[in-house]
Structures are given as C-alpha cells and as structure tokens.
Structure 1
C-alpha cells in the first residue's frame, strides 16, 4: 500500500462535494499541514466574527475594557470604549506611535493615554496630544488615530472582526430568529460554572465532534438517557447550524411560549454552532457559550462561559453534567488526533442521516480556504 504524503503546496485545496451521499471528508492534510494551519488563520478566522466577551463592564460613559481577539491564534489587542455620548466602539488597543499596549485593565477615563510616551487619544480613538513632536512634517495624520474595528452585538455578547465576509446577522440571524423569545439581556455570567479546557487536538476535530449527535449513544451514556436520540436532528443555515435535542419523557425541557417556532415540542437543548469556532448551547437554565481557540496545529483551548437565566433549573436535564460530557468528548477527539496523522488514513465518508453538520462545516472550510473570498450563496449550494 502506498503511504500518504502531505505536501505543503496542497494548502488551500480542501473542496468537499456538495452531495453528502457521494462526498468524502475534507483532506487529512488540513489537520497536519503547518501551511494549511497558517492559511486558516488569515482566510478563516480573520474573515469571520469572533466573540470578545460580554458588555457588562462597558455600560457607562467613559468605560474602557481591553479585550483580545481569539488569543493564541489572531492575538489581536482590542479596546471597547464608550464615549461621553454613550456610543460604544471597538478600537485597536495598540498605540500608533511605537506599538505599546494602551489599556491593560477595565477602567473609567476621559481619555486614553499611552504610558510609554504620553500620546493621548479621545474615546473615539482620535489622537489629541503628543509631546516632543515639534517639527514633524505631515503630523498628525489619519494614521495617528486608533483604527476602529468592526463591532456588533448579540444580546449583551460582543463580536469583533478583522475583515468579515458578511455582517454578523448573516452568521447569527438564524439563531436570533429561533430563540429570540429568550430574554438574552437578562442572562448573567456565572464565573463559578465557567472554565477553560486544553485539548491536545486540532481545533477542527473538536468542532467536528460537536457537530454530530452520531456519537452520543456510544460516547455519552448518561446524556443519551436524557435526550431522545431517535428525534435528534440537524438544521443547516448559511454560516451556522442547529442540533435540536428533544427530551425523553419525564426529563427537563424548555417551557416554550406560543411565539417559539418549536412550541409544542419538548426541547431539551438547542445546540447552535456558528462558523467557524463558536458554540451557543441553550438549556432551560440559560446559555453555555463555548469558544474554540486554536493554540497550535495540535493544541486547542476551549473557553466555557455559563450565562444563567433560571438558576432553579441548573441541576437537571441535558445541561446538568457538562464537565463529564466534555471529558468524554476530549478523550475521543484526542484519539482521533492521533489517528488522522496516520500515513494510511485518507479520509472517510459522511453518514447522510447523522453527519450533515460535519459536511456543512467541511464545505465552509473549503470555501474559506479557497483563494477567492466566500460569497453569500445559500448553505449547501
């Protein structure tokens, strides 16, 4: 048998057939080739929206809050700034003089001052003062102001992007329409239920595992007792998809209002994935937000953040044992990481009934990794 060679020149050639019944999975080189990993940083993550936290500490005029866009991958220092008029902006948190980080902790201020050489900016990002620059020609110029970064919000969750291919609504609009009846602005972060996990695997393998319920009966025995696997289904959108889990008889489920599209069903969980690396898991108690952060070609950090809506429902149903489910997922994902490096592994096929989400993900990966920018065509087209 001829062993597989993984040439770096293949980076960017990851197309997957649109017909799931005949398609083969994405080329294994996507998981092991350093050139492909570097290309993904610019073509996937720099062109998509990234969650940068909530807005709890920037509600008042004069609020400043430093953030970092996708630490370990994009590593872009950002600054949320609310000016005296109440307008919120996302600015670069890097001084335009010599690159010093400007704000290192949340605070309230009337201006932004660099601690290195005292360059100053107003809360709109415009440079207002710089000592010892007498005689400098063509100074100041627009390049001396802080760049403004695209910023949008979903409830009280903030999203920023470098060069997004579409507005945030294109990524999260279907989520909003499905669960818009929930009072998202009333959800509150619970630090005691939030933590980070480090996984020895490629980030896309972690996402793939999330995107199918196929493994639930075989990997998550306890979870399988809570949800109705037979009715478990996936719904695909342009830049997102949903796995809808219905509760078994007697198990915890949402009390859905008449305006919910799912009224009359006993929904245990809404598992939303937003391309490329965000999971929004809605349970009767609230939201478990998971941000997948590539740390290297075979190292991933997953930030779990719990936003509680109804604390009385925290200990029941599909959202009650998330740490156990995470440990079970990590074990299998790390085993797959070892397997995809095999010289004999050439990729596989998709289950047409259970792996629509994985196929959708791979199609988007191929689209973004291609030399031309993605367009707004319908999902699955």
Structure 2
C-alpha cells in the first residue's frame, strides 16, 4: 500500500485509517522503520568501569535484539551481539565484571572486543576460526550518558540527534542522575503511531491538559522540524518556572518552560529545568504499546514545579485520548484526516518520514 503524504501541509491528508489496522504494515514497519533507526538502549552507568559487561535488549517487544555492552581494560566501550556465534546461546545474563566473555553452553570464549579466543573440540575444523566466529559489532553512539544502537541505521546517529546536541550543548548531560523511584511504565491499548502523533502536536493542550496549559504560554508555543527529529518549544507564562539560560544558548533571553524533542520514530526527550524525562515508545502489537518513562535529574530542587510537574496526570490524559482515537480508526467510515498548518507540523513531519521509510 502506498502511504505517500503530500509535502504541502496545507493540502495534505493524513495516513489512512487502514495503516493502523493492517497487520502487514505493522510487520513491515518492524524491519523498515525500527531496524533502520537508532533505538535507546539505556544509560552507561553500569558500564563505567573497565571490565564491565551489561546485557541490553533493543526495543523489547518489537525488535527483541539481544545486545551486550562491554568496556575493555583500556576503557573503550563497545556494543555487540549478545548471541554466541557457535549455537546462538545468550552469553551474558546480568551486569557483571569480567576479563573475558564465556558461553556457559559449550565454553566458547571471547575477549571484551568480541574476538573469539578459545573453543574446545574444534581442532579438526577447517578454516576455523574465521571472522564469522567473532561477535558482530553493533552500531552505537552516545548523547551524554544515554546510549543508542541500531541494527542497520539509515543514517548516522548525529543526523538524528545532532540538533539536540547543538541546541542544548550548554546542558551538562553527563551530570544528570537516574532517579529510578520516578520511573514509570505504562501500557495502552492503541497503535504505537497514534501515541507518537498525540505527542507531536500542541493543538490538544488547551483541551485535555488544563493544568499544563496554566503554566505554558500557548500563544508562543511552536514547532521546529529537522531531518529525523523535531522540537516543540514551550515558553513559560509569566511567573512560572523556566530555564535559566546561559548566554551561549540560542534561546538566551527567552523564558522556556520545556524543550520537547522527538527523535524518529519512537523516542521523546523532554528537558525541564530539573532534568530529563525520557520516554521510549515500545510497540507490543498492532493495538498494544508500552511507554517507558525514565527520569534523569539535574537539579532536584526544581522537581514537581512548572511544565515538568504532574507528568503522571498528563500521561493519563494523553492515554485516554489516544485509546479513544484507536477505537475511532477502526471505523469503516474513517478514511483520512487533515493537518492544522499552525499546530500539526510535527504530525505531518512524522507521517512523511513513515511514508519514506515504509517505501524503501
């Protein structure tokens, strides 16, 4: 099916309702969208020391790709497959410290760079070992202490995150600290793309987020579009909490309540004066989605104030709306919608990227 979206938002129609109902489209997106983009795989806190190993799973419930982070004695951090190249046993089950990686099944061993170093009972094997016996290296990169990996990236990580780096380079991202007590996981009965669409437009804020609307200056709320990301810049009302922006910030002189970054296809980086609320959208089925909220604190004294407060309530309000839309897109009478040129540039951008990736 052709999911083309007109580049002119003033005349464009949204993705058809069939996109959210088609099991074939959902399966195709797994390989053409998620496997070719950069996925968040957690932070680097447990692999800070040489000799650290930490298993990760790339986009659980969708890609389910077992990965392994390893920091060698020289301090180099690598991301590689966590699957033994002999018989596909998972190698490392929990974070640990080690001088080598050893498979518990048949004792094949690898160094912390992923090179196979030992295998019993293979003396008679010809052309062994070969490059295919080493652990595959997985493309990965960092934003502060946050780590990202991809199966087969369509573009370098900087093409996805470079605009975040340049806009917020003044923030000490490595100094943000994970507060697990504030982490949340939510499961909704809706297509993953509907949740993303809801995030990407400010049009609904005055109607379903009354408390949030009281702290934002909605008249100056705006979106900025990049190649694989976009930003919703949320100015604060007079008297409400805002960033203390340094002179090197391109927004110096403005009162910004929040930077809402979305990175294609399923990551939200919400920066508040207190720190970062990172939201990962995890498809678990055509009408089932898990959203992981992870909290990284910069200034605890600013928690629970301004746009970065009451996040659980905002989430509940969003979920109610998204699940209602999920029921609506199943209607035989729904075909397409239209975009608000003033408020839905982000949704149009998202749909254009989806159509691009689904077609290639």
Task: Report the TM-score, using the length of structure 1 for normalisation.
Answer: 0.94
2:183 alignment counterpart = 194
What is the Cα deviation at residue 33 of structure 1?
0.3
Is 2:303 the partner of 1:325? no
Aligned pair partner of 1:271 in 243, 260, 274: 260
271, 277, 280: which is aligned to 1:288?
Answer: 277
For the residue of structure 1 that corresponds to 2:343, the secondary structure is coil
Name the structure 2 match of 1:235. 224
Is 1:163 aligned to residue 152 of structure 2?
Answer: yes
Give the aligned partner of residue 344 of structure 2: 355
Aligned-partner Cα distance in 1 for 2:316–2:292: 14
- Residue 85 of structure 1, CA deviation: 1.2
- SS at 2:47's partner residue? coil
Equivalent position to 1:247, from 236, 239, 256: 236
- In structure 1, the residue matched to 2:69 is 80
1:261 aligns with 2:250: yes
SS state at 1:230 partner: helix
Structure 2 match to 1:139 = 128
Q: 2:138 aligns with which of 139, 149, 159?
A: 149
Aligned-pair CA distance for 1:107: 0.5
- Report the Cα offset of residue 134 of structure 1: 2.5
**Distance in 2 between residues matched to 1:121 and 1:329, nearest whole Å:** 46
Alpha-carbon distance between aligned partners in 1 of 2:62 and 2:304, rounded to the nearest angstrom: 34
In the alignment, structure 1 residue 43 sits paired with structure 2 residue 32: yes
- Runs of 5+ consecutive residues of structure 2 not aligned to the other structure: none
Alpha-carbon distance in structure 2 between the residues aligned to 1:128 and 1:29 = 51
How many pairs does the alignment contain?
360
1:203 match: 192
Return the alpha-carbon distance in structure 2 between the equivalents of residues 146 and 159 of structure 1. Answer: 18
Runs of 4+ with deviation above 4 angstroms: none
> How far off its partner does 1:29 sit?
1.7
What's 1:5 paired with? none
Whole-angstrom distance in 2 between the partners of 1:221 and 1:320: 13
Q: Give how far 1:216 is off.
A: 0.4
1:106 aligns with 2:111: no
Q: Give distance in 2, aligned partners of 1:368 and 1:137.
A: 42
C-alpha distance in structure 2 between counterparts of 1:172 and 1:127, whole Å: 33
Which of the residues 120, 124, 129 maps onto 2:109?
A: 120
Give the distance between the partners of 1:234 and 1:18, measured in 2 at CA: 17
2:36 aligned counterpart, secondary structure: coil
Residue 139 of structure 1 and its aligned partner are, at CA, apart by 1.5
RMSD (CA atoms): 0.6
Q: Does 1:66 align with 2:55?
A: yes
Q: Structure 2 length normalisation: TM-score?
A: 0.99
Aligned residue for 1:304? 293
Q: Distance in 2 between matches of 1:220 and 1:85?
A: 50
Q: Output the CA distance in 2 between the equivalents of 1:138 and 1:325.
A: 59
Deviation at 1:178, TM superposition (A): 0.8
Structure 2 Cα separation of the partners of residues 58 and 349 of structure 1: 47
Deviation at 1:94, TM superposition (A): 0.3
Deviations 1:220-273 (A, max 9, x none): 011110101111100000000000111111111111111111111110000000
SS in structure 1 of the partner of residue 196 of structure 2 = helix
CA deviation profile, 1:133-167 (whole Å, cap 9, x unmatched): 22122221111110000011111111000110111
